Amino acid sequence: MKSIQRSLGLALIATLLLVALVLVQTSLWLFESGLRRSLETDLREETEGLLVALVKGPNGDQLDLQRLNPRYQRPFSGHYFQIELPGRTWRSRSLWDATPQWPERPGLTEELLDGPQEQRLLGQLGADDRADRCLLANLVDGSELALEGDAQGGQAALSREADRIG
């Protein structure tokens, strides 16, 4: 009788531990997924803000620094951009002389990218048809997505052309 009770008790404990492990893993996945969506939304809004800062001036397209978010001015703030127009390139001051890994394809990257000072960045590559060709790369610190070592961060992208612009 005690042997059956002991076996049932051990099976119950093992089952409860397994259920708890599944619940913890599911909770972590849901948390990471929500954080990723939040960062993606912020990145899209920041990218739209950068496009708004591109204005027509007397000498063609110009970047209105007054319309830029101040975080693009703070060194290594975790917020970086690069805008490429035919014959003109702008980079955020927050980059200083660093050359982060830029996204490779238009849209959001599927994994976090390497950035300055060992930052892990979520990025987006966009194009704007107001000019012949405008490549816009926007990166935001996605370190929070690295919950367990090698994390797969939100979505982001930029073409290899941005790499050679640096």
**Best mean pLDDT range from 16-30, 50-64, 85-99, 134-148:** 16-30
H/E segment holding residue 18: helix 2-53
According to DSSP, residue 118 is labeled: G
Mean pLDDT computed over every residue of the chain: 75
Rounded to an integer, the average pLDDT of 71-78 is 86
Strand ranges (DSSP E) for 27-133?
Answer: 54-57, 60-63, 79-85, 88-91, 107-108, 113-114, 120-128
How buried is 8 (Cβ within 10 angstroms: 0-12 exposed, 13-18 middle, 19+ buried)?
Answer: exposed
Report d(CA 129, CA 68) in Å as an integer: 20
Which of the four pLDDT bands, split at 50, 70 and 90, describes residue 159?
very low
* CA 73 and chain centroid, separation: 18
Confidence band for 72, pLDDT divided at 50, 70 and 90 = confident
pLDDT of residue 164: 32
In the prediction, which pLDDT does 136 show? 61
- Residue ranges covered by each domain of the chain: 2-165
30 exposed, middle or buried (CB, 10 Å; 0-12, 13-18, 19+)?
Answer: exposed
Confidence of residue 145 (pLDDT cuts 50, 70, 90): low
d(Cα 100, Cα 141) in Å, to the nearest integer? 12
Give the Cβ contact number of residue 109 at 10 Å: 26
| CA dist., res. 7 & res. 148, Å (int) | 35
Length, in residues, of the chain = 166
Query: Could you read off the pLDDT of 86-99 as tens digits, one per residue?
Result: 778 888 888 888 88
pTM > 0.75? no
**Confidence category of residue 11, pLDDT binned at 50, 70, 90:** very high
